[in-house]
Amino acid sequence: MRWSQLHIPTLREDPADADAASHRLLLRAGFIRQLMAGHYSLLPLGIRVRARVMTIIREEMNRIGGQEFLLPSMQPAQIWEKTGRLAVMGEEMFRLRDRRGAEMVLGVTHEEIFATLALELASYRELPQFWYQFQTKFRDEPRPKSGLIRVREFTMKDSYSFDIDEAGLDVSFEAHRKAYERIFARLGIPAFAVQASNGTMGGTDSIEFMCPSGAGEDLVARCPSCGYAANLEKATSALAPIQDAAEQAEQAGQTGPARLDTPGVRTIEDLAVGYGLAADRQIKTLVQIVDGELTLVLLRGDHPLADQKLIDATGAAAIRPAQPQEIQAALGALPGSLGAVGVTDYPIVADLALRGRRGMSTGANTDDVHLTGVDVERDIAVGTWADLREVTEGEPCPRCATALEFVQAIEVGHIFKLGRKFTTALGVTVTGPDRETITPIMGSYGIGIERAMAAIAETHHDDAGLTWPVPVAPAEVTVLLLSVRDEAARAAADELYASLLDARVDALIDDRDVRPGVKYADAELTGIPFRVSVGSRDLADGVVEVTRRATGEKERVPVAQAVTVLQGLLAER
């Protein structure tokens, strides 16, 4: 490719409103342009990176036995009704009707459609299967942001495994986990695996691959000692045990909570400061609407709720905090004096940290009144015990008790053990060795291609621009013709460019009639790993200058050896 033919130029100034570094640089360097919120055009340089990322992923998928497919993005809504996900996905799915009025959706993911193909599987002998594709996904995100990191239309490599049983799924899942580690290593993304919630996918286990970055939208709790890592929506910690003995003694003989008038008290802190009732001796009562049902959520006074944990614990599609009037109507008091003692009309979900606690205080469901001496298991009709609290940085690792660190990160991949939800709903079965009917168990595995590009850009840039790793760079080498008017230099640059292409080195040539400084600046901005400067001055000595973008190292090499030297540099890894 010749720079003189490149249609979209680089920008001299930073574009407005580009928050993340990757967004700013990909715009400036001419890799992407925005059409509307969450929808980007990929330009020729962007397409080259995307193709390389896809090639690496494809190689690793094929290596573990993956077979490539391409399924439609536009799908009948009916299939999604069969699995119940039309409702679960809700507003996130784009919906449309065709001219006959048939309801269609744009795929947010392809479990249903791949499972439809799996209907043709007939025998256990055909399992396991790994099927994958690169396909555009559409998600009506409430708030697209940060360039390619969060968009509404993007390419996803999604793969699906079908196995006879759980043991088989474990093997398929593990194969994918290893493949993902190889993929991110080859892409130059410093990703690490973390435990995660399954969310709307359902199923049992899931692992996210996280790339540490200030532009990331997730927080991960990670143990620097034993390697434990989990998304905050899933992470736990080992809490120091709390001694309730003193309070127990005080309340010896009591058979129930005692009333405490607390005029004006509205917060956990008010109660702690004004009445000497420490936050970790209080029960925090939150009221949430869980799939439309008013639910009491109990946590220790000093613990925040992790919303996703509540969703996971209740199997809800959606939760939201209750409005004050809803709370008033249900419990007879406003936030600040709420409690679950004696409540039987509403489901109660309590965090495990409250289990066995005694001598606790909580609201009395009368404004300005609290209860003390509450024995959680004696006085409260807890329906569900679950891990609900969000861990705090510095709490002890659940495995080894080392203080947990928080890391901000971009989620670049996610793998799920799905179970039989989709195969059951769609009626996928195979015949087993004893002629029994087997419902295959599925796994699903995703990587966002453009997001991966953004993650690479986030982790590979400097003040001058992008610094792509060789395997994903838009080109391996750019030849800079510095002396445009020197015919000998022009001929030498053209010849070198042709020789590089002959040697199957992916090269660009910057033959524009602009000053050398512009070419240097653009070579650096676009981040091509090696540049070869061809100019009259060095050519008089029979040499060209080879510069490594990432480090700035320069080397003068004889023209005749330039191709060989570059091949050597490119082969380094």
Partner RNA sequence: CGGGGUGUAGCGCAGCUUGGCAGCGCGCUUCGUUCGGGACGAAGAGGCCGCCGGUUCAAAUCCGGCCACCCCGACCA
190 binds RNA (CB under 7 A): no
The region of 169-177, 376-384, 480-488, 558-566 touching RNA under the rule CB under 7 A is 480-488
Q: Which of the residues 192 through 211 are near RNA (CB under 7 A)?
A: 199-201, 208-209
What are the start-end ranges of the H helices in 188-319?
245-250, 268-275, 307-314
Dump the DSSP string for 268-296: HHHHHHHH---GGGBEEEEEEEETTEEEE
Nearer to RNA, 37 or 403 (CB): 37
Candidates 11, 122, 488, 498; binder of RNA (CB under 7 A) is: 11
Residue 212 binds RNA, judged by CB under 7 A: no
Q: Indicate which single residue of 2, 4, 15, 332 sits in contact with RNA (rule: CB under 7 A).
A: 15
SS3 350: strand
Does 450 engage in binding with RNA (CB under 7 A)?
Answer: yes
- Considering the complex, state which of residue 271 and residue 557 has its C-beta at the smaller distance from RNA: 557
Q: Report which secondary-structure segment, H or E, holds 260.
A: strand 258-261
The residue among 381 and 484 lying less far from RNA, judged by its C-beta, is: 484
Does 548 contact RNA by CB under 7 A? Answer: no
476 binds RNA (CB under 7 A): no
Nearest approach, Cβ of residue 432 and RNA (Å): 31
Between 272 and 319, name the residue whose CB sits nearer to RNA: 319
* Binder of RNA out of 58, 82, 95, 145 (CB under 7 A): 145
The CA distance from 114 to 120, in Å, is: 11
Interface residue with RNA among 93, 105, 156, 331 (CB under 7 A) is: 156
Out of 517, 551, 571, 573, name the contact with RNA by CB under 7 A.
Answer: 517
Gap between the terminal Cα atoms of the chain: 25
For the CB of residue 422, give the shortest distance to RNA in the complex, in Å.
Answer: 14
Residue 134 Cα distances to 85, 92, 157, 449, 533, angstroms: 22, 20, 4, 9, 38
Based on the shown chain and the rule CB under 7 A, indicate whether residue 522 belongs to the binding site for RNA: yes
- Under the binding rule (CB under 7 A), the answer on residue 545 touching RNA is yes
Is the backbone of residue 80 left (phi > 0), alpha (psi -120 to 50) or beta? Answer: alpha
> Under the criterion CB under 7 A, does residue 163 sit at the interface with RNA?
no
- Is residue 38 within the footprint of RNA (CB under 7 A)? yes
The CB-of-485 to RNA minimum distance in angstroms stands at: 5
Q: In this chain, which of 354, 538, 562, 570 binds RNA, going by CB under 7 A?
A: 538
- Tokens for 298? 């109990």
> What would the two tokens of residue 5 be?
């033919």
Residue 6 in contact with RNA, rule: CB under 7 A:
no
Sequence-ordered list of residues with C-beta below 8 angstroms from that of 311, at least 6 positions apart, any chain: 197, 199, 318, 319
Residue pair 334/328 in contact (Cβ under 8 Å)? The answer is yes
The first and second tokens of residue 155, run together, are 């390419």
Q: Does 37 bind RNA (CB under 7 A)?
A: yes
* SS3 per-residue string spanning 58-116: HHHHHHCCCEEECCCCEEEHHHHHHCCHHHHHHHHCCEEECCCCCEEEECCCCHHHHHH
Identify the residue among 13, 120, 463, 572 touching RNA (CB under 7 A): 13
Q: Which of residues 67-126 bind RNA (CB under 7 A)?
A: 92, 109
CA atoms within 13 A on the CB side of 188: 20
Shortest reach from residue 218's CB to RNA, in Å:
5
Interaction of residue 60 with RNA, rule CB under 7 A: no
Tokens for 96? 């449309």
Per rule CB under 7 A, is residue 217 in the interface with RNA?
yes
Residue 406 · residue 219 · CB < 8 Å? yes
C-alpha closest to that of 183 among 291, 71, 53: 53
Work out whether 2 is an interface residue with RNA (CB under 7 A).
no
By CB under 7 A, what part of segment 374-433 binds RNA? 411-414
To RNA, the closest distance from the beta carbon of 285 in angstroms equals 20
Sites for RNA among residues 454-473 (CB under 7 A): 464
Per-residue binding string, RNA, 317-336, x by CB under 7 A, is: ---x----------------
Our finding on whether 134 is near RNA (CB under 7 A) is: no
Give the tokens for residue 252: 């010896």
Q: Which residue in 308, 362, 478, 526 binds RNA (CB under 7 A)? A: 308
143 in contact with RNA (CB under 7 A): yes
For residues 147 and 22, the answer to whether their CB atoms sit within 8 Å is: yes
